[in-house]
Structure 1
Amino acid sequence: MGGSTSASPCSSYQPSPSTVPFQRPPSRFKDINKNHVRLDLNSMVSTLVSDLGSVDINLKKQRSGLLKKHRDSQYRLVELQLVVRFPCFTMTGTPPSLFTMPPRRRANSVRCGKATQVSGETHRVTEKNGNDSLDICRVLNGMWQTSGGWDRIDRDDAVEAMLRYADAGLSTFDMADHYGPAEDLYGIFINRVRQERPPEYLEKVRGLTKWVPPPVKMTSSFVRDSVNVSRKRMDVASLDMLQFHWWDYANTGYLDALKHLTDLKEGKIKTVALTNFDTERLQIILENEIPVVSNQVQHSIVDMRSQQKMAELCQLTGVKLITYGTVMGGLLSEKFLDTNLNIPFAGPPLNTPSLQKYKRMVDAWGGWSLFQALLQTLKGIATKHGVSIATRCR
């Protein structure tokens, strides 16, 4: 790997506690519940990844007082680096994005460009583990915005936007049972595709959803009924991917739930996956011979915890990682360059749940001043290559 990585040890990826209510919301397009997800950042890294070059920036004064001792070693950073390459994954995209775990070699390059250039087989990957596989786009369209906090969702406008994304080649959609009307919108969208697009077009469309049940007894009938609700809302005979989340690791019912989900692969689910599971529980799941194809976790240039033991386990077992928060809800952009959010009304408003969430991450990582130094460095690299800060090219 180009450059050195300084990171506090991360034995497990901590899931995000959430204020989302346990009960499944009904189908609706108005009065969407507001979800505010907060992540406890218990482990951060100090090496910043970019595919565009390597730059050293002097931040000794700004880092004063930020570095602490970790266990028996001094958690020390001589310099922040933008690493030339990272051989373990390929990461791209503003919405949730896939990075695979090949052997130690540089991944095939992906050229950034206009949306109309996205279509093509080189921009698709296969989620595969054992006998289970699913072909999806490298860049996923995340639908958290439909869950509330981003203003009212207009059904027709949302479906038209989904069609435009799919027409441009971005035909994989990531949603959840608690993302407001996301599954219902997908159901309307997929019917439009069936009626207005050729059969080969439909073959490229994928709908990935999540199931976030309450930590109750996971019986076969409860699991089956919950899956049927998503199937009905999405208007599909079989879910392309069901990503499972669990609230309380002290309750080992997650193993029962996953076993019941595996039983439903005969016709109601094509692939079973996880979301926000930590490394320890992922290993337990695999040791119980439960075939999961992926784990969706948070990853960005600021939060690279999943590159630690989680990435190592995934590389050994073939489980893929789907990442969200790649550009931190928009904070990693020119819009927030040279701004001071400590002064009221001095910068762009943090008026969405995602901006508020990732601003808390910045505060835990090192603060807004340090983040400004990062944005300035990224801007210099982006300008050199004729792209925006949020764009990653190879």
Structure 2
Amino acid sequence: MREALHGFTLRGRSFVAAGLTAVLCGIVLGEHDLVRIGALVALLPVFAALWVARSGNRLGLARTLGASQVEVGQRAVVHLELTNVGPTTGVLLIEEQIPWALGSRPRFVIDGMRPGWTRSIHYQVQAEVRGKYDIGPLRVRASDPFGLLELQRTFTKTAGLVVIPATEPLPPIPLLGAWTGTGDNRPRPFASGGAADVTVRDYRVGDDLRRVHWRSTAKVGSLMVRREEQPWQSRCTVFIDNRARVHRGQGPHSSIERAVTAAASLAVHLSAQGFQVRLVSALGEEIEHGWHDGDVAASPRPLLERLAVLPTVPNHDLYTGWVDESVTAGMCVAVLGDVDDHDRDFLARLHHRGSASYALVLDVDTWAARTLQPDFVRRPGRLPTAAWLRQHGWKAADLGRDGSLQTAWQELGR
């Protein structure tokens, strides 16, 4: 009741003020009818508060998403199910709290609900910007039939929606980094392995004790068993340079967004081709679990979720700590922006580490020209990045603002 008395609307306060004024004037003028009318007007909001306070408005909410992960530009359907677990309610105005990137806040008016009644509502959201968003909480406004009182209730539960970059289908091309050429697994005999950490694994319940590798067990301190044969699968590192200084443009039409779209398309395509794919950015490893099995249909999911929230970083130099023999075996596909001399030295070393190196070089000049950024100037007399990479063993192709990713990818296969 105390909360209800603090929820008077402007109309309710006006009724109280007008009623008290009428009572005061009636007393001064000796008009008893005016006093009675004023008292009725002043007490009407109080009666409304009593009515709303007794109703309680005890509601239950269940929120489900048609899909927890959608691409940029796609729509996601949100289902709301309200259940009245208290006495009969009055008219309810519900408003869903959503980020501005998903559009305007959905609002609905629900008529009175009797005990046990359920109302189902659904609406759509669409995001043009990648990222992770929280949908909710739901805010409920309860009012009396005269609009004299308004109370708000807010649920605490929210639902997460991941908006991943839109991917483009890529045509198959011959790739030099595939161990088998088709992406199928091939058994490798135990004798071909050298390092213990490659040819043994942790003991699992049900393993034959005759396969225990006692030397490794003594060294590690836990049971280790031999891997009699190990699948040999193609691996690929997708490297994306997300430093702010190498990209141009702002918002959804910037070069970094084009780079993210290209990296996502490459990851999905290579995973479908049977590659184990991982993501590396200017800060190094981007997936905690390293390689992801290309035979699993959902393998690109964690990588795409990381790309959904990949920001630009202020670092001047690339982090190179992830580069060693164990992690660069296989193929490397780089999505690059502007490249300086220091970066070229790193890329030259990176090519010698892996078995095959491919690069998509974004022509950031096209983004700088349209966004009128005065801090970006051309360097005459310098060999273009794609041509320089080709001279140093890479297969490289340029990708402009209006260029086709499919065409650039096909050029890498020539």
Shorter chain as denominator, the TM-score bin is under 0.3
Q: Higher relative CO (CA 8 A, sep ≥ 6), structure 1 or 2?
A: 1
TM-score, with structure 1 as normaliser? 0.26
Larger-Rg structure: 2
Q: In proportion to residue count, which structure has more strand? A: 2
